[in-house]
């Protein structure tokens, strides 16, 4: 039986690639975006498999109404893909509360609302999958990406606990950690007002995001294929870094963390109360 997917941010990049891959597998996709006209070509090409709906994931009432409508009409949601997002560049001191809260609304509170909306239906059927789009920046961070990585770290922490909670109920959770892929992420970016003292540290990051769009090595279609393969595996991984850059960066970061802990292990362990 074909699956029913709910994909946020489906109009471009990973969202569009996943929609196309799911359609190719014979599934049905409810593709959402803030501007549904950007999905007209997919609906026209696959009228029996793709339905486009407007959705702002930061609108909790809209999310709940959309999920209720889908489950009423389709009977289920088999795969939720929390993909909607954007990037932000700014030093921690440069980033305002409004900028930080806006990013958390999009990358953390929006997915949390969608998860709460779909889980009762997945629990009732004892099946389902939730795909959480993080980033290699959800495992480590870089100068200028403090706000972006903060949201991805939060998403990963929430998702790790979620996976442990729902695994016994037959529900999978997959955290996707892409590196640099040929998507519109750098074209959909906000920036904080600059402080001159951070020119040497954050400056290169700003320059990379200004000039890097269209040069990323990763292929979103291959990423989508890898995600479907992981979901269909008997043992779906909790985390899936995508791209050689992401794999190398995550493994290097884990090695660095282990080395630092080992260096300080004796002092770190010697903190118990004296008996």
Catalytic residue among 12, 134, 141, 159: 134
The residues near 111 (Cβ < 8 Å, ≥ 6 apart) are 57, 82, 132, 155, 158
- Return the number of other C-beta atoms located less than 10 Å from residue 146's C-beta: 20
Q: Tell me which of 129, 152, 172, 192 is the catalytic residue.
A: 152
Rg of the chain on CA atoms, in Å: 20
Q: Please choose, from the candidates 84, 85, 210, the residue with its C-alpha nearest in 3D space to the C-alpha of residue 144.
A: 210
- Residue 148 is among the residues annotated as catalytic for this protein: yes
Measured CA to CA, the distance from residue 83 to residue 95 in angstroms comes to 23
Burial state string for 19-35 with b = 16 or more CB within 10 A and e = fewer than 16: bbbbbeeebbbbbbbee
46 is catalytic: no
Catalytic annotation present for 192: no
Q: How many CB atoms are closer than 10 A to CB 97?
A: 7
Annotated catalytic residue within 12, 87, 141, 148: 148
Which residues are catalytically annotated? 134, 148, 152
């Amino acid at each position: 039986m074909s699956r029913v997917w709910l994909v946020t941010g489906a109009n471009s990049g990973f969202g569009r690639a996943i929609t196309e891959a799911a359609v190719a597998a014979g599934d049905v996709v409810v593709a959402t975006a803030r501007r549904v006209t950007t999905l007209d070509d997919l609906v026209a090409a696959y009228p029996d498999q793709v339905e486009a709906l407007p959705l702002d994931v930061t609108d909790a009432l809209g999310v709940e109404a959309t999920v209720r409508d889908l489950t009423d009409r389709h009977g289920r949601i088999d795969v939720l893909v929390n993909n909607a997002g954007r990037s932000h560049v700014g030093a921690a001191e440069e980033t305002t509360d409004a900028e930080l809260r806006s990013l958390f609304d999009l990358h953390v509170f929006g997915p949390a609302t969608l998860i709460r909306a779909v889980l009762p239906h997945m629990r009732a059927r004892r099946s389902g999958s939730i795909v959480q789009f993080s980033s290699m920046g959800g495992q480590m961070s870089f100068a200028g990406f403090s706000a972006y990585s903060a949201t991805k770290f939060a998403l990963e922490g929430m998702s790790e606990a979620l996976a442990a909670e729902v695994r016994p109920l037959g529900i999978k959770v997959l955290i996707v950690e892409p590196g640099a892929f040929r998507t519109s992420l750098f074209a959909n970016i906000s920036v904080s007002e600059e402080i001159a003292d951070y020119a040497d540290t954050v400056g290169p990051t700003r320059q990379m995001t200004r000039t890097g769009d269209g040069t990323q090595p990763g292929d979103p279609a291959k990423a989508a294929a890898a995600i479907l393969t992981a979901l269909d595996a008997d043992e779906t991984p909790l985390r899936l870094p995508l791209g050689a850059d992401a794999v190398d960066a995550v493994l290097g970061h884990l090695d660095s963390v282990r080395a630092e802990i080992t260096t300080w292990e004796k002092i770190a362990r010697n903190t118990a109360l004296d008996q």
